[in-house]
Amino acid sequence: DQASLQETYERMHAAYCQIFTRLGLDFRPVIADTGSIGGSSSHEFHVLAASGEDDIAFSNESDYAANVELAEAMAPQQERPAPGAALEKVATPNCKTIAALVEQFNVPVEQTVKTLIVKGAEKGLVALMIRGDHQLNEIKASKLPAVKSPLEFASDDDIRQAIGAGPGSLGPINLPMPLVIDRSVAILADFSAGANEDGFHHFNINWERDCALPEVADLRNVVEGDPSPDGRGTLSIKRGIEVGHIFQLGKKYSDAMKVGVLTESGKHETLMMG
């Protein structure tokens, strides 16, 4: 049953930790995505090393550790400031990247946003918006109910047909599709984004004044210095080499293979796997 699976899982977790401790390794057990293998829970064991293949986020004050693809970026605690300037539509020729916009117009990168277009879960397209200095977490995005999984980005032709502008000129005002924004974008005021017209951007955009506040979700990768999701300390990020991996598979495979046992009462019970 689930209780037995949990007990066995914890014993395996402890065994891995004891082995790596006796070997003298600088390691972290990290919360991981179960991916295509499936199951309800998963931990990877990573030896910290500059040559590692994965980014590991861990707290400087607790045992919390997670693969960057799974670590939650906590909602900012500060409130959104009041609008401080009037909305402007500005010609921005050749500004198709955040870097170009920042360089040519001397705007703080933290006050810019980028809009990414992905395929919807059923049909159509969905827009995802993150801050200009952040990176989209594709695992988190693929778990949004409105988004197709696995994640699939829209082609330039699809974007132009739906919006009338190409990537690099997209933004929230009059956007003709569902929009989901990152938590860090929801607290921005007077920010800059594309005007959904090639060669133009809007400056000093404000939610609820210039466009409605859309759905808000955790969409980004965590960065060094973010608050730890367990509420203790801040996150450090280092590279890790995966040396072990455990899963709680539950009944995913035993159901498919019809693997079970008879209980004392003669009832067939599907095995829990891990």
For the stretch 193-224, pLDDT in tens is: 999 999 999 999 999 999 999 999 999 999 99
Average pLDDT over residues 4-19: 92
Answer whether 132's CB lies under 8 Å from 113's CB.
yes
Cα separation, 110 vs 76, whole angstroms:
14
Which has the higher per-residue pLDDT, 8 or 193? Answer: 193
The pLDDT assigned to 123 comes to: 87
Residue 1, pLDDT score: 76
Q: How would you classify the pairing of strands 179-182 and 215-217?
A: parallel
Mean pLDDT, range 62-68, rounded to an integer: 91
- What number is the average pLDDT over the span 131-155? 97
Q: Residue 39 pLDDT more than 90?
A: no
**Domain 2-72+224-270: CATH class, spelled out:** alpha beta
Residue 8: other Cβ atoms inside 10 A: 14
Strands (E), 72-134: 88-91, 113-119, 125-131
CATH superfamily placement of domain 88-217: YbaK/aminoacyl-tRNA synthetase-associated domain (3.90.960.10)
Domain boundaries, the chain: 2-72+224-270, 88-217
Whether the pLDDT of residue 175 is over 80: the answer is yes
Query: Taking residues 138-159, what's their average pLDDT?
Result: 97
Asked if 172 and 211 count as a contact pair (C-beta separation under 8 A), the reply is yes
Asked whether 41 and 5 are in contact (CB, 8 A), the reply is no
Tell the residue number behind the tokens 């014993």, with chain if given: 11
Q: What angle do CA 144, 148, 153 make, to 5 degrees?
A: 105
How many whole angstroms separate alpha carbon 189 and alpha carbon 110?
11
Lowest-pLDDT range of 38-42, 179-183, 192-196, 210-214: 38-42
